[in-house]
Amino acid sequence: MEACRIFRLAMNDVTYTYGLSAGAGLGLSLKCFQWMPTVEAENSSKLNLRQRFNFVADVVEDVASAVVYIEVKSMRFFNIMPPNGSGFIVRKDGLILTNAHVVMNRTNSVVQIKLQDGRTFSGIVEDIDLKSDLATIRINAQNLPVMKLGSSSDVRPGEWVVAIGSPLSLSNSITCGVISSTRRQSSEIGITNKEMEYLQTDASITFGNSGGPLVNLDGEAIGINCMKIAGGISFAIPIDYAKSFLKRSEQRIVRHNSQIVKLKYAGVTVFSLTPGMLDEMRFGEYHMPEEITSGLLIGKVVSGSPAHISGLKTGDVVTHINSNVVQDVNSIYKALESGKPLNMRIIRNGIFQEIIIIPEDI
């Protein structure tokens, strides 16, 4: 290496010695150039590293064309930002899977679907399952790219995953992370009416990501992104639940000749209050009265929805619906099924208030 250093210094000199010295110098230079990596070799090495470690980019390239942006536009409230979300194509004849809360909107609304290639279609909500928070949309198109459905039963904690969706209307945004838990019970996150084990991930999921796929490194959807509780704590519905829903939906449509029973819509996302949450609320800004032992926390109110029109706000706590004590989220589902107005007793900043919501058909 000392000889190589001397050679580089000598090459900087403007005077060269010819003859035997030059021959020796030539031999030395050849040996030094053998020691130093070429530019081509360095570039090749970098390329190999990219090919080996850019696995997320490879997954996105394979599956992004099957992910869609969903927007629900009201024909009555033109000055309100429309609810939006994501979904992915599961049949090449135009069947799209998403979350129920993405498309549960009021009457006089239009569902618009935007594909990755820029094409837009009007969508028809074909089926909804409120308890699993899953829905299907149909668009009039053929030969569409389809997302492969994997299996959530063999997913392992620590496995790399990619979340694709449209947060804040930014289509085909990508986040990645790992599976934190494969069997997070619904009761652990305040959802007591569902017998479901969610996939927990630290991949960022926010409004607009809902309904998009959670994909493994084989390019298979293993979950449907559905909610975020805090930074680094997000959840997806396991794809095995979605497969069962798709099968039941197909059978239901055939059996009822595509006539789906009308469901009612309020326009809220709610969480059942756990004992731990209630304890924190009694000493925090909520000023929760001691006598309250159950209820629903309003997590989101959709702009222009019946809940929004009634004056319900994020952070409100619902204690009674139609004079019945609220035990969990099943209470609001039963009230919606009745088709009657929802007379709610709520707590806001420690003060009881009465609010009436007039649900609409989905």
Based on its alpha-carbon atoms, the radius of gyration of the chain, rounded to whole angstroms, reads 29
Q: Is 133 an active-site residue?
A: yes
Phi, psi dihedral angles at 355 (to 5 degrees): -135, 140
Residues in Cβ contact with 326 at an 8 Å cutoff, skipping those fewer than 6 apart: 294, 295, 296, 318, 319, 320, 332
Instruction: Provide the token pair at 173.
Output: 């945004």
In angstroms, the CA 161 to CA 353 distance is 44
Q: How many CB atoms lie within 10 A of CB 149?
A: 18
Q: Is 361 an active-site residue?
A: no
Q: Which of 65, 74, 86, 101 is catalytic?
A: 101
In angstroms, the CA 265 to CA 43 distance is 58
State the amino acid at position 173 in one-letter form: S
The residue among 323, 317, 353, 326 whose CA lies nearest residue 340 is 323
Q: Which of 65, 109, 210, 234 is catalytic?
A: 210
What are the helix (H) ranges across the chain? 2-11, 20-35, 39-53, 55-63, 100-103, 239-255, 275-283, 306-310, 330-337
Q: Is 62 an active-site residue?
A: no
Instruction: Please give the positions annotated as active site.
Output: 101, 133, 210
